Structure 1
Amino acid sequence: MKPYITSYAATLISSCLTVMGTLSAAHSQEPPPRTTLRLAEGGTTEYTILTPDKPSGITHSAADELAFHLKQITGAEWPVKQEQARADRPEIRLEITDSDPAVPQNAQGYRLFTEGDDIVIRSRSPHGLLYGTYALLEDKLGCRWYTPDETLIPRRETLRLSPFDTSASPAFLYRDIYAADVFRDRQWAQRLRLNSGTFRWPDKPTDHLYNYMPGYSCHTFEHLVPPDKHFKTHPEYYGLVNGKRDKNLLCLSNPAVFETALATLRADLARHKERPCIVSISQNDCGGWCQCPECTRIIAEEGDGTGLLMRFLNKFDNALQGENVTVHTLAYHTTDIPPTKTKPNPGIIIQLCPIGICYGHYPEKCSHSGSEGNIAFERKIKGWSAIHDNLWIWSYHINFAHSFQPFPNIHTLPAYIRYFADHKAKGVFAQSDAGQRATSLKRLKHYLLAKLLWNPQTDADALTREFLEHYYKEAAAPMAEYLAALAATIENTPNLHTWIYDAPHSRYLSNDFIEQSENIFAKALEAAKNNPVTLNRVKIEQLSIQYLILTHWLRGNLNRSNEEILKIVDEFETVCRENNITGLSEHDWKDEQRLQFIRDIRTKAGAQPGN
């Protein structure tokens, strides 16, 4: 399969598209057909936005978003009223009902249609109304929210729409991207129809769909049975490994471990009143099993260690019945093998974590072997989806060890999201940057992920083209060329695989690729030189190539003069400082590794003290 980015790059570069004209042309006003809705003209409208009486916080949000964007589009004021105050005028109606068979059964789905002069957004839940609102704004009116600081709200002096009737629902019930942009701008994430468990509506905090109890999102064994409290007095609570107790593991067959963990959980639930909520009962960030006689016996009886964990989880799930609490766990490292005998209770969320797979090749075609490679993962996801109907995925879209360096996985994103959907996953947590780290092409990656998590069949070609044209503007063509070059580094080498801890000297990040990318970025910088915003965006992405140059040179794998290296490291540090970009790796929260890296470069290059 040819990467869609490659074909797009060829088209864009050869045709020399006028960057800003494409989408506006798509929204140009054709002569209206005879049957149209005239929503606004000359900065005025006769329409009212109508909500149910006593609307929820989410329904309020939907109405406010409509009023805000419609004013930006038309210049008119769009009043919002409740059902009891409706007047004899055309309306955009937000309706919740269970009686319309054309509304999807999925509570997040919606029906969007015209009825006479009215536009109706109808759903079975407030969340569906919100997502139907964004569908109207996006699909019918041309609004786009590419990043928190790059949006498109097309201005229309006269706003007309032809009649329509459409419905949709998301492929995944849970859609989350772990990224700084999501944390900083929840409204932007909401507009992309993400529904992270970290979202809150201040007036009705329980309106959000997925609420992890604080401290219970993952890796909770250490919290449930804290070693600093119990290890000295009760070492038998912890896993026996090669004759010694390991505080990183729990002895899951010990009844006292379950009682201790349940007591901790109940105390936390008593303090945390929000319901419904999710609590993760999951291993620490490691693998392995207790080797005590009872755990060994159960593992032998089950045929695998996962069955031991399932027994433990089912006890929690049974104990919490009727409390509006959902149990979650990770299928991670040694727990990612589907159980042979004891299956999870139906309501438990199993989140499969393919931490070792290669994202550089298409999922069905990757030959990456090993216990955590793509071939093994295909067996695991098929096994889990065959026995459990509440499967989520934790996917990885960052290099944890070197967050600056290029990560060639954007060309395969659509295929992987479809792959997860095809195997009946109901949720996806996509892990990207967690702070200000300059992860490779993260803004494009986040936009694509959000759109694909709603509809995996979305045209990724069109999404990429549109994003590049509006985010990189004058530099869209060379940035498309860079995407194609990055995809080609790995796509044409079936036996060379990517990993989320790859080093900068990985074979696919060759000196030839560095030279090719330098030439591409020279064109991008030249194209953007008269637009300070675009120029800065190109420079931020160029950090990836500058990081490769510096690391290759530091290892003696690249021949550059000291003067050139000092110039590059100065540019690297300036762009990082001006854009508040910190952290070299997953755990470099204090920016110590990145600053030490810069000092090492300058020392080897012979910089004068203080420079």
Structure 2
Amino acid sequence: MPLLFAFSILTACASERINALAPNGQSVEFKLAVNEKAFGVIILPEFPTPQEVIAADMLKEGLDSMSGATFNIIPEPLYAEEFRSMPVLSVGNTKLKEASGLLVPELSAEGYALQASGNALFFTGGERRGPINAVIAFLEEDLGCRWYSRFVPAYYPYEEELTVSVVPRSYSPILEMRDVYHVEAQDPDWAIMNRISSAVDPLSLEIPSAYGGMLRYPGRQLFAHTFYRLAPAKELLSSHPEYFALINGERQFNNICLSNEEALRIVADNAIKILDADPDARLFSISQNDGSSVLCRCEDCLAFSEKENDSGLLINFVNQVAELIHRKYPDVQISTLAYLQTFMPPKTIRPDGDTLIWLATDRHVWHNKYFYITETEEFQEALESWRAIGAKIHIWDYTFGDNANWLTPIPNFKVIEENFKYLVEQGISGIFFQDNFLSIGGSRATMKDWALAKLAWDPTLEMDDLLRDFTFGYYGAAGPSIWKYNQLLHQEWESFHRSNRPNQGAVLHLDRAFINEALALIDQAKAAVINDPVLLAEVEREETCLLYARLENGVTNLADKKAYLEDMDQFRKYVEKFEIKSFAEPTLTDTTTKFTQWRIGMNLFGKENCSPSVIELQIKDVLLPKVGAATCRLTEEPLSDSGYAVYQPGMSTNWSIQWDRSAIDDYRTTETYVLQLRVKLGDLTGSGSVLMCGVWDPEVGSLLEREIDSSELSQDEFSWVTVGEVKLPASSSW
């Protein structure tokens, strides 16, 4: 596996650059090289482990790059008298380390120790990347080397006289899982050098055993929402419907009845077969499918849920499946989800001792992404309640801000930091930061990933220091302008946070004035690195996100249309250049529809005639999720004001046409609205219900539903259909 050890000296503003990772404590000095001549030597045990060899190679690459010298790696039996006057860098469990008399501190699997005695510096650690982490700590924290992102070379500060000051220390990370689930971070080289510990694919499968591997789940897409993979075979649905979950009066072939003993046995057998195919896996998820109403509602399951909560129904099932799995795989740890239906813990049932509870922050973050967890009650209550029953907790956090607009700049770094530190204080044992996992291209993505990796490794670090380290270290001469851009975004958050309260549906909107000011700073940053194509591209990545926000805002006046089209063309070029495959989670890899919607919005500008009491759900704002054969599309329609309509295939059972609260400006929760639609029939065979529509509140469910019959519609023209009256909640989808 190639490593990020390419020699590079990045330009930077020395007066602004800081080492946010510098260790505290009394240091010792080692003079290692002068004028490209090495004064030190690296030694390995006579029979080194693969990790020790890799760690020594990393150390040599770093020191060679910093000094221009060539450092030798010598097996300990060849450590001759001629080397003994030199500083010695001992990697792994050498005899020299044993003879030093230094006590070996107690370390976790990923923990490390840097110890000094005389002219020797010792690098040791636990069985999973301990020696490697020791070398990384030395290079990164003491010497200031950096592996900021997959898009730029490693940074090694060059010194003609390489005299290093190192703080002897040992450290074991507080969190066993430290995962940044973001495409930019799913690079094995970057992950190793930034000490990510990912349990999920694809990253967990790409770290070789020589590097310590990962404590991981088996295969692909088996870390959560696994019922659809573990459920009995679809062919059994007709002969044994009782094996499958009963939801809304129907048995679902990809879901499980949690009170049926034979279904339980089948699930355990399926899990064991998966582990048989991947015996190195040490984690296994038994968790409900995604969605807010996914647990069986048969008579027995419903009675159990009423007695123990939905989480009790799930935990009871998980405990029994875990017992069967452990008969063959006693070392595999079972996990499940505390999410949506299973958010609160059971009343009396307890998860087995080693069962891991993966608690999601959705109840807070989805509606309050710019507020601290400590500013709302629901998530705090859930976390405290799970802790009270002794659960081992990992957190599934959401850092993207808006999964319907991956690219929009989101000023939530301060909130992420404070929430994370609160969670660590509450005793969690792992963190999973979910961001844009579908495509490269998120706003400040590399900056966020690096900062989150550092915080996850050492929660005592400060976000502001990390951002300064990254901005001036990564962007070089563009750093001052990017720093001002960071501050501009932070000021937007401060103003919003000061003026609003949680759970009120307030939306932080980046207006045209902000975007103009931000783009001016980006222009300054580009000018500063115009002769450096690597750094110029990194600045352009953020310009791409600002252009996305600009296009989402639409034209500001008729004279703006020309510039709007030019910005759209530039955005399209950046999308191709940076291979951006997705703008939103619901629409997956569809990027073409968004361009059509922007053109529709531009053409409609100035034609809106709605009164202040009317909310117009415009086609330019519609969300068309990918839902298989039922996926809708925009189609040209001469009878439509915009020239387009949404075409919905027949027999759709999904919410395949959506508008979200965030797309609506004048939204009054105190008013009662009448929801009306303009609908035209396509090709039709038969009669009856052809469309289900309504308003959905993620907190309480459906607020308004109505089926529209074919007899109400025409194939020749659009008809107005009244769905009903509704008072709108703070957060809703249509």
| Offset from partner CA, 1:277-318 (integer Å, 9 cap, x none) | 21111111113332222112222332x111111111111222
Query: For 1:185-584, what aligned pairs fall within 5 Å after superposition?
Result: 185-197=187-199, 198-199=203-204, 204=209, 207-215=212-220, 216-225=222-231, 228-247=234-253, 249-274=255-280, 276-288=281-293, 289-302=295-308, 304-321=309-326, 323-358=330-365, 360-361=369-370, 363-366=372-375, 374-398=376-400, 399-494=402-497, 496=500, 506-553=507-554, 561-584=560-583
User: Using the alignment, how far apart are the partners of 1:335 and 1:558 within structure 2?
Assistant: 49
Match of 1:173 among 176, 184, 187: 176
* 1:138 counterpart letter in structure 2: E
Corresponding residue for 2:48? 55
Alpha-carbon deviation of 1:260? 0.9
Match of 1:112 among 111, 114, 121: 114
Q: Is the 8 A contact 2:334 2:354 kept in 1?
A: yes
User: Using the alignment, how far apart are the partners of 2:339 and 2:110 within structure 1?
Assistant: 29
User: Using the alignment, how far apart are the partners of 2:558 and 2:179 within structure 1?
Assistant: 43
| Offset from partner CA, 1:324-368 (integer Å, 9 cap, x none) | 2111112111112122211111211211111242364452553xx
User: Using the alignment, how far apart are the partners of 1:206 and 1:533 within structure 2?
Assistant: 29
Alpha-carbon deviation of 1:582? 2.2
User: Using the alignment, how far apart are the partners of 2:296 and 2:204 within structure 1?
Assistant: 37
Structure 1 residue matching 2:133: 3-state secondary structure: helix
Q: Is the 8 A contact 2:51 2:211 kept in 1?
A: no
Alpha-carbon deviation of 1:241? 3.0
Relative to structure 1, the CA distance from residue 560 to residue 497 in structure 2 (aligned partners, 3 Å threshold; closer, same or farther) is farther
Alpha-carbon deviation of 1:255? 0.7
Q: Is the 8 A contact 1:51 1:81 kept in 2?
A: yes
Alpha-carbon deviation of 1:407? 1.6
Corresponding residue for 2:38? 45
Alpha-carbon deviation of 1:415? 1.3
Relative to structure 1, the CA distance from residue 448 to residue 498 in structure 2 (aligned partners, 3 Å threshold; closer, same or farther) is farther
Corresponding residue for 2:630? none
User: Using the alignment, how far apart are the partners of 2:80 and 2:423 within structure 1?
Assistant: 47
* 1:363 counterpart letter in structure 2: Y
User: Using the alignment, how far apart are the partners of 2:461 and 2:444 within structure 1?
Assistant: 20
Moved more, 567-576 or 535-544: 535-544
Match of 1:138 among 137, 140, 164: 140
TM-score, normalization by structure 2: 0.71
Alpha-carbon deviation of 1:167? 1.9
Structure 2 residue matching 1:436: 3-state secondary structure: coil
Alpha-carbon deviation of 1:588? 4.3
Query: For 1:54-93, what aligned pairs fall within 5 Å after superposition?
Result: 54-88=47-81, 89=83, 90-93=87-90
Structure 2 residue matching 1:351: 3-state secondary structure: strand
User: Using the alignment, how far apart are the partners of 1:206 and 1:236 within structure 2?
Assistant: 47
Relative to structure 1, the CA distance from residue 588 to residue 66 in structure 2 (aligned partners, 3 Å threshold; closer, same or farther) is farther
Relative to structure 1, the CA distance from residue 439 to residue 142 in structure 2 (aligned partners, 3 Å threshold; closer, same or farther) is same
Q: How many residues align?
A: 567
User: Using the alignment, how far apart are the partners of 2:451 and 2:102 within structure 1?
Assistant: 32
User: Using the alignment, how far apart are the partners of 1:560 and 1:327 within structure 2?
Assistant: 60
* 2:267 counterpart letter in structure 1: A
User: Using the alignment, how far apart are the partners of 1:552 and 1:107 within structure 2?
Assistant: 49
User: Using the alignment, how far apart are the partners of 1:34 and 1:471 within structure 2?
Assistant: 27
Alpha-carbon deviation of 1:263? 1.2
Alpha-carbon deviation of 1:50? 2.7
Structure 2 residue matching 1:119: 3-state secondary structure: strand
User: Using the alignment, how far apart are the partners of 2:196 and 2:477 within structure 1?
Assistant: 30
Alpha-carbon deviation of 1:129? 1.6
* 1:537 counterpart letter in structure 2: E
User: Using the alignment, how far apart are the partners of 1:559 and 1:545 within structure 2?
Assistant: 21
Q: Is the 8 A contact 1:317 1:327 kept in 2?
A: yes
Corresponding residue for 2:592? 595
Q: Is the 8 A contact 1:496 1:508 kept in 2?
A: no
* 2:88 counterpart letter in structure 1: E
Relative to structure 1, the CA distance from residue 141 to residue 569 in structure 2 (aligned partners, 3 Å threshold; closer, same or farther) is same
Alpha-carbon deviation of 1:149? 3.1
* 1:337 counterpart letter in structure 2: M
Moved more, 277-286 or 149-158: 149-158
* 1:312 counterpart letter in structure 2: F
Alpha-carbon deviation of 1:377? 0.7
User: Using the alignment, how far apart are the partners of 2:144 and 2:240 within structure 1?
Assistant: 62
Q: Is the 8 A contact 2:441 2:578 kept in 1?
A: no
Alpha-carbon deviation of 1:159? 1.8
Q: Is the 8 A contact 1:524 1:538 kept in 2?
A: yes
User: Using the alignment, how far apart are the partners of 2:385 and 2:60 within structure 1?
Assistant: 47
Q: Is the 8 A contact 1:314 1:345 kept in 2?
A: yes
User: Using the alignment, how far apart are the partners of 1:168 and 1:297 within structure 2?
Assistant: 49
User: Using the alignment, how far apart are the partners of 2:150 and 2:514 within structure 1?
Assistant: 31
* 1:157 counterpart letter in structure 2: E
User: Using the alignment, how far apart are the partners of 2:421 and 2:64 within structure 1?
Assistant: 36
TM-score, normalization by structure 1: 0.84
Q: Which runs of 5+ in 1 are unaligned?
A: 1-17, 28-32, 367-373, 607-611
Alpha-carbon deviation of 1:101? 5.5
Q: Is the 8 A contact 2:358 2:395 kept in 1?
A: yes
Moved more, 112-121 or 173-182: 173-182
User: Using the alignment, how far apart are the partners of 1:461 and 1:604 within structure 2?
Assistant: 38
User: Using the alignment, how far apart are the partners of 1:540 and 1:439 within structure 2?
Assistant: 8
Alpha-carbon deviation of 1:24? 7.8
| Offset from partner CA, 1:145-173 (integer Å, 9 cap, x none) | 11123332011222223464222221211
| Offset from partner CA, 1:536-585 (integer Å, 9 cap, x none) | 3222212222222222217xx76652211111101101111122222111
More helix by share: 1
Relative to structure 1, the CA distance from residue 328 to residue 58 in structure 2 (aligned partners, 3 Å threshold; closer, same or farther) is farther
* 2:345 counterpart letter in structure 1: P
* 1:566 counterpart letter in structure 2: L
* 2:593 counterpart letter in structure 1: Q
Q: Is the 8 A contact 1:328 1:350 kept in 2?
A: yes
User: Using the alignment, how far apart are the partners of 2:347 and 2:43 within structure 1?
Assistant: 53
Relative to structure 1, the CA distance from residue 228 to residue 200 in structure 2 (aligned partners, 3 Å threshold; closer, same or farther) is closer
Relative to structure 1, the CA distance from residue 254 to residue 558 in structure 2 (aligned partners, 3 Å threshold; closer, same or farther) is farther
Give % identity. Answer: 25
Structure 2 residue matching 1:388: 3-state secondary structure: coil
* 2:69 counterpart letter in structure 1: A
Structure 2 residue matching 1:425: 3-state secondary structure: coil
Relative to structure 1, the CA distance from residue 393 to residue 341 in structure 2 (aligned partners, 3 Å threshold; closer, same or farther) is same
Relative to structure 1, the CA distance from residue 436 to residue 294 in structure 2 (aligned partners, 3 Å threshold; closer, same or farther) is closer
Q: Which runs of 5+ in 2 are unaligned?
A: 1-10, 21-25, 604-734
CA RMSD of superposed structures (Å): 3.2
User: Using the alignment, how far apart are the partners of 2:472 and 2:414 within structure 1?
Assistant: 17
Matched, 1:156 2:159: yes
Alpha-carbon deviation of 1:375? 2.1
Structure 2 residue matching 1:131: 3-state secondary structure: helix
